[in-house]
């Protein structure tokens, strides 16, 4: 009976998974090796990672959310992981996993297929918080990428788009809490740059305005600078029929000097000014 119990115990020991161990501690102990290569591009399923067990025991670990893989070449972008990848390793075994990762170094070049990466480490506290916010939902790649750039490169939070009542607002609000910036009420579109994933230079400001005029009226819409000077007139006492109107606004601001601006909307139906600020 004792021999049976012993053999059963040994058998269960081989079937039960090893307890989870932190990747950082395993690397520091020399228990695992990590190699990473880009699949091409700087967002989404763009990174393959091989984890190899250098011990004679099974290991269960993971590539955690918020782990940053630095590029082996300075001009190529670093990548941050935004989805945890579990890795179960047999003694001496290895496993290849594909990571959902995003650029956290916008000024550099997008990785080519086969680009190599160093082992890496957890990112800064803010980057890890952003990565966890992305991991908590199902967000499109472009939204997740701009969220990362808000923290890693200081890009405008409005690059994530204006609040629109969709589930994407969850991530916009999360970034507002992480950065201390107000949630975006307008959208920034960045200028293209053939040498960078994102130029960081605002090209256009976009926003839909709603105007309710039960009896119709005159509408004036201007852009003013910080001193209150009018820099652009979009509508000048334009006649609107009765009803609820949507006014799409797109401002080409590529050549505007940095600073604080605001849209000022006046209607003959109501006194005062509806002010919507934005910054460049």
Closest CA to 46 of 121, 145, 122: 145
Averaged pLDDT for residues 201-225: 92
For residue 276, report the phi and psi dihedrals to the nearest 5 degrees: -130, 100
Query: How would residue 191 be classed by pLDDT, with cut points 50, 70 and 90?
Result: confident
Give me 30's structure tokens.
């020399």
Residues 140-152: pLDDT tens digits?
999 999 999 999 9
pTM, 2 dp? 0.80
Instruction: Give the span between the Cα atoms of 136 and 167, in whole angstroms.
Output: 12
pLDDT exceeds 90 at position 129: yes
Give me 267's structure tokens.
């209607």
Averaged pLDDT for residues 173-177: 97
Sorted by sequence, the CB contacts under 8 Å of residue 184 that are 6+ apart come out as 156, 157, 158, 160, 161, 162, 163, 172
Averaged pLDDT for residues 194-215: 85
| Lowest-pLDDT choice from 2-6, 51-55, 67-71, 118-122 | 2-6
Residues 10-40: pLDDT tens digits?
444 444 456 999 999 999 999 999 999 999 9
Closest CA to 73 of 47, 108, 98: 108
Averaged pLDDT for residues 229-250: 94
Give me 146's structure tokens.
């701009």
pLDDT exceeds 70 at position 4: no
Instruction: Give the span between the Cα atoms of 24 and 223, in whole angstroms.
Output: 51
pLDDT exceeds 80 at position 194: no
Closest CA to 101 of 130, 72, 74: 130
Sorted by where each begins, the domain ranges of the chain are: 18-200, 209-279
Task: Could you list the beta-strand ranges (E) of 20-164.
Answer: 32-38, 43-53, 59-63, 67-69, 79-81, 85-89, 94-103, 116-117, 121-122
Averaged pLDDT for residues 178-207: 86
* Predicted local distance difference test score (pLDDT) of residue 17: 54
| CATH 2.40.128 holds for 209-279 | no
Q: What percent of the chain has pLDDT over 90?
A: 78
Residues 83-111: pLDDT tens digits?
999 999 999 999 999 999 999 999 899 99
């Amino acid at each position: 009976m004792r021999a049976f119990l012993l053999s059963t115990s040994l058998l269960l020991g081989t079937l039960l998974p090893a307890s989870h161990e932190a990747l950082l501690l395993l690397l520091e102990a020399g228990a695992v090796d990590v190699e990473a290569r880009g699949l091409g591009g700087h967002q989404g399923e763009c990174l393959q990672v091989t984890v190899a067990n250098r011990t004679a025991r099974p290991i269960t670990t993971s590539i955690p959310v918020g782990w940053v893989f630095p590029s082996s070449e300075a001009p190529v972008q670093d990548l941050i992981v935004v989805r945890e990848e579990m890795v179960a390793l047999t003694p001496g075994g290895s496993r290849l996993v594909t990571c959902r990762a995003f650029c956290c170094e916008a000024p550099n070049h997008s990785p080519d297929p086969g680009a190599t990466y160093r082992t890496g480490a957890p990112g800064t506290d803010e980057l890890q918080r952003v990565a966890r916010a992305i991991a908590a939902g199902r967000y499109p790649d472009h939204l997740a990428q701009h969220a990362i750039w808000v923290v890693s490169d200081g890009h405008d939070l409005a690059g994530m788009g204006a609040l629109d009542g969709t589930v994407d607002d969850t991530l916009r609000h999360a970034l507002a809490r992480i950065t201390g910036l107000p949630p975006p009420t307008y959208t920034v579109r960045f200028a293209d740059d053939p040498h960078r994933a994102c130029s960081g230079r605002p090209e256009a400001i976009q926003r839909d305005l709603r105007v309710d005029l039960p009896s119709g009226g005159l509408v004036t819409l201007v852009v003013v600078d910080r001193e209150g000077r009018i820099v652009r007139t979009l509508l000048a006492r334009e006649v609107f029929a009765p009803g609820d109107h949507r006014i799409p606004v797109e401002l080409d601001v590529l050549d505007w000097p940095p600073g604080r601006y605001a849209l000022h909307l006046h209607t003959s139906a109501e006194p005062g000014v509806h002010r919507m600020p934005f910054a460049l």
